[in-house]
Amino acid sequence: MSFTTRIKNEISNIYENTNANHSELSAILRNSYNVNENNLEIITENGTVCKHIYTLFKELYNINVKTEFKNTKFSKNRLYSITVPDKLDLILKDLEVLDDANNYKLNPSLLETEDEKRAYLKGTFLVSGSINDPKTSMYHLEFSIDYLSEAEYLSNLLNEFFLNSRITKRDKGYMVYVKEAEKIGDFLRIINASIAVLYYEDIRIYRDHKNMTNRLNNCEQANFEKSLNSASHQIEDINLIKEKMGIELIPEKLAEVAEYRLKYPESTLQELSEIMTLETNKIITKSGLNHRFRKLKEIASKLKEDIE
């Protein structure tokens, strides 16, 4: 069972107050209905969603709604058909799907409260939404919408909840989508998918922790390689000085640090400063060591110029 199916099954068992149910059913019809032989028909691949829509029609309009399986060569999954045989005009106008001239319309009067807005998002998700499983793929919430006006309407509604949604054109219709992991978790809270939220947030926290650990490991590895590379150049400078003029001819402090670098070739500057402080009983800081290595580099550079 996909993550999207689990979410839809969960929220299909939640019913709101009458006004919110109106808003939810309006969203469902605006994004999924057909008129077939003067009957209003809704098709879904989810049996629990089918039952939920059936219940909304019965509670709001007290009508006989027919449900049946429907096979089609264009879908591998079993399809469920919900057919409303009467009160068609009443329902479409009451839910503000069509205006008095039977034109598609926006329906702001059904979205006056936050509960109604949440219900509208829930209904839209039930018939046109999907969320990738955070365990197996990238974070992604999307809605497949037929008309640009509805896509813009939905996107604006999502953004009232600060979800940063965007719209893109598809071959058929439009996609309204959200990519940010935290915002998708917020959407699940908005539609009251409590169980899905717990699962989603557990996976998100685990992935974020894993990614942070990987970044830290990569950073540590990069710093280690940088230290080795720096130590290698320091050893080259020291060996050149030994070969061309002798360590005994350079200042005592520089000779001392050269000796310790050759003795501990893989130590970082911090580690080397701690070793020298411990063994010489003199405080030698990391910055002090860095200063001495710069002096050794200057000597080695002059020797290279003389050679050339």
243 contact partners, CB below 8 Å, separation of at least 6: none
137 shares a domain with 8: yes
User: Would you write out the chain's pLDDT as a tens digit for each of its 308 residues?
Assistant: 899 999 999 999 988 888 899 999 999 998 988 877 678 888 888 989 999 999 999 888 888 888 888 766 555 677 888 888 888 888 888 888 876 666 666 767 888 899 999 999 999 999 999 999 888 768 899 999 998 989 999 999 999 999 999 999 998 899 999 999 899 999 999 999 999 999 988 888 887 766 777 777 777 677 767 777 888 888 888 888 888 788 888 888 888 888 888 888 878 888 888 888 888 888 888 888 888 888 888 888 888 876 65
Bridge partners for 68 per DSSP: 81
Q: Given this model, what pLDDT does residue 127 score?
A: 94
Whether 207 is covered by a domain: the verdict is no
Tokens of 240: 């050149």
What pLDDT, on the 0 to 100 scale, is given for residue 67?
82
Provide the whole-model pTM: 0.68
161 lies in the same domain as 56: yes
Range of the domain at 175: 3-192
Residue 41: inside a domain: yes
Q: Which structure tokens are listed for 25? A: 């059913």
Instruction: Tell me: do 106 and 154 sit in the same domain.
Output: yes
